[in-house]
Structure 1
Amino acid sequence: MGIDFTVFKGSKTGDIVESKGHRDPAPSEVIVKISHCGVCGTDEHYRHAEMGLGHEGVGIITEVGSAVHSISDFRVGDRVGLGWFHKFCGHCKACLTGRQHHCANSTSFGTADHDQGCFGTGVAWDVSTIAKIPDDIPSEFAGPLMCGGATVWGPLHDYGLRAGDRVGIIGVGGLGHMAIQFAAKIGMEAVVFSRTDSKKQQALDFGATEFVATGGKEKLDGVAPLDALLITTSANPDLSLFLPIMAKGAKVFPLTISPESLQLSPLALIMSGIVVIGSGLAPVASINNMLAFAAKNDIRPHIEKFPMTQAGVVEAMQKLRDGKMRYRGVLVAP
């Protein structure tokens, strides 16, 4: 049977174009009718590519491939989330050790399946990468968790941090506001850094323990040592401001998709034992844990909704580009 779908794509000019397509499910794929999709900064990076946009999809399974019942427990009618990755191989070392997000043979947004995307009415998706959405999470909040939520959850959950640790979070934006909530609910001290005080109250409402405005400062006085630092801003900060308040052996997670270099001297690393960890998204089991944790602790991204139409996509992406989104955009199917 398959699905006839509409999808909104980027283009060489950067305009958003509407396209039509059809997909039949491969043996290990399911057909998902999309109801919601988060708007991520990475979609903006691909606006000039002729490909389907959207990788924070949520929808209902309407059809399953011939092998799905033998390799998974996904069934028609399940509400599922779709993220950055389209398929994991299941046999490389990363997959066999539970680190699917490092799969050597994965396909993903931007690298494959350019005819489809979650900015649309439906997709065919491999079951190796999808997740069931808990009943307690409304679909409009689930989309941003599939990429943005997974991106900040991974460092907090998968790298040895624990309740009681002091976690610095630079930025109160699309990633930062979710990192604050997760860190606070885990039982960590969420120490938030932002250029001005304009988002202080919101950061505290999200669960921040401390808030530090960094604009114009050459030294951060009175801040106790941090066990970890999550960089969630759209541009890399001057780390020389933060190194003096990092604990010995602290972990730094640059989460921003940025081509800029981090300014760190070998001496700074040697003297402090600081570890810089490249972390993107999270393994499948970790994402399932994240969704269960978010459901149990009522963690919700702060969203603005837009219609899943060409005009809606253009409006949402322009607001994101202008830095005015508070804090994640979500497209909603008619």
Structure 2
Amino acid sequence: MSTIASNLSKTFKAAQIDGPNQPWKIVDMPHRELKPTEVLIKVLASGICGSDHFVEDGSWPGIVYPRVAGHEVVGRVAALGSDVKPVAHLVIGALVGVGWNGGYCSVCEPCREGDFAGCVEMQVSGFTFDGGHAEYIYAPRSAVVSVPESATKYASYAEIAPMMCAGVTVYGALKASGYTPGDLCVIQGIGGLGHMAIQFAAKLGLRVYVVTTSPSKGELAKSLGAHGFFISSPNTVDEIQALGGAKLIICSAPYSKVISDLIPAVARNGTIMLVGATTDGKIQIDNVLFNMSRVTLKGWSCGVAKDAEECLNFAALTGVRSVVETYSLEEFSKAYGIVKTGNPKFRNVITFPE
């Protein structure tokens, strides 16, 4: 038998899309029986990520419609599937989250090697099953992130939600870069990913500079922890090289031309981490530069539940937080439209009453 909260209604509201390039609409969805290994979560906040557009335009392979997007979710456990043991964070009322990685099989070769993010059967929240832009989400237990109650002492639910994707992505990329404290880290972009990368990089002991388009954005970057900034120009690479070159470049904004132009700013034995998904063409590289300077180019995507928990704990200890603007579910189309046009302040988040 599933454990179900006594006050559960028969239906719940969700922002749903019926097919590629169709409008988002608010619908009433019926509650269903929990699968044995599922957890039902009452959503408190759900961040809108730029990758939600893959659901809207149908470019992600295998999406079954109608579909509810959303993979930056914070909420409380409302019910447990029959095979979910009520331990640790898997108890009614526990504060939890769900990120991009919607669960893994544990038996494929990548999983057996400990690379759960590379699971060949990996579920993706809001893509292979309905996501968090709704009052409730049915999530596989392996996707459920334990959110420390202490996190709510420094951040709202809405500020915690983007940690499930944007936060854990840039935090994981920084850890995987092989950095040394004091290294010059150049961050391209101050958007949803970039503004969190600035904070994490500074707290991890890197010397952080940002490439941006205006002095006002540069000052904003400094308020987030950056040590300085460069205004994007034909001289940017020379200015960075005058500081010895960047040992680490974090490319967070999805503009292939900007990324291509910034690559020569990397230092010898430096690393370029790609965390933003470009949609405007291919990145151009100079293989001679890579060969002679022994440069590493590496991609990074969102981690699994345990990675998100580490990210949350680090953020809680150091004060890293996302900057958000909040909207109600009824305002979803407006909030999504702002993200789609590339004009959110940082992260737009749908909030729900507790």
TM score, norm. by length of structure 2: 0.87
Out of 30, 37, 53, the residue aligned to residue 39 of structure 2 is 30
Identical-pair percentage: 26
Which amino acid is the alignment partner of residue 283 of structure 2?
L
The CA distance in 1 between the partners of 2:160 and 2:226, in whole Å, is: 22
Letter in 2 for 1:95: C
Counterparts of 1:17 and 1:320, CA distance in 2: 17
Greater CA drift, 273-282 or 71-80:
71-80
- Which residue is equivalent to 1:75? 91
| Deviation for aligned residue 1:14 | 3.4
Q: Deviations over 1:12-40 (max 9, x none)?
A: 34311223233322222111011110111
Between 1:2-11 and 1:249-258, the stretch displaced more is: 2-11
Residue 337 (structure 2) pairs with residue 328 (structure 1) = no
Contact 2:177 2:248 survives alignment (8 Å): no
**2, 5, 8: which is aligned to 2:15?**
8
Q: Mean Cα displacement is larger for which, 158-167 or 318-327? A: 158-167
In structure 2, the residue matched to 1:232 is 252
Partner in structure 1 of residue 56 of structure 2: 47
- Classify the secondary structure of the residue corresponding to 1:85: coil
Could you tell me which residue of structure 2 aligns to residue 319 of structure 1? 338
Describe the SS at the equivalent of 1:112.
coil
Q: Distance in 2 between matches of 1:182 and 1:158?
A: 13
Please list every run of 5 or more consecutive structure 1 residues that lacks an aligned counterpart in the other structure. none
Q: Which residue of 2 aligns with 1:146?
A: 164
Contact persistence 1:162–1:186 (CA under 8 A): no
The change in CA–CA distance for 1:238 and 1:333 in structure 2 (over 3 A counts) is: closer
Q: Alpha-carbon deviations, 1:24-71, whole Å to 9, x = none?
A: 222221110111101111113322344211111111101111221178
The answer to whether the 8 A contact 1:155-1:253 is kept is yes
Distance 1:130 1:186, change over 3 A: same
For structure 2, the residue ranges without an aligned partner over 5 or more in a row are 59-65
CA distance in 1, matches of 2:127, 2:50: 17
Superposed CA offset, 1:1-21 (max 9, x none):
666332212343431122323
2:214 aligns with one of 196, 212, 231:
196
Query: Aligned to 2:30, what secondary structure does the other structure show?
Result: strand
Q: Secondary structure at the match of 2:267?
A: strand
Work out whether 1:17 is the aligned partner of 2:25.
yes
How do residues 228-307 of structure 1 correspond to structure 2 at under 5 angstroms? 228-239=248-259, 241-259=261-279, 260-307=281-328
SS at match of 1:295: helix
Rounded to whole Å, the distance in 1 between the matches of 2:265 and 2:286 is 16
Partners in 1 of 2:203 and 2:236 — Cα distance?
A: 31
Could you tell which deviates more after superposition, 50-59 or 18-27? 18-27
Distance 1:31 1:192 in 2: 40
> Runs (4+) of structure 1 moved beyond 6 Å?
none
Kindly state the Cα deviation for residue 207 of structure 1 after the two structures are TM-superposed. Answer: 0.4
Give the deviation of 1:72 after TM superposition: 6.6
Aligned to 2:62: none
User: Root-mean-square deviation (CA), in Å?
Assistant: 2.1
Question: 2:139 maps to which residue?
Answer: 125
Deviation at 1:239, TM superposition (A): 4.6
Q: 1:173 aligns with which of 182, 191, 208?
A: 191
AA of the residue aligned to 1:333: F
CA contact (8 A) 1:165 1:189 kept: yes
Return the letter of the residue paired with 1:77: G
| 8 Å Cα contact 1:238/1:263 also seen in 2 | no
Deviation at 1:111, TM superposition (A): 4.2
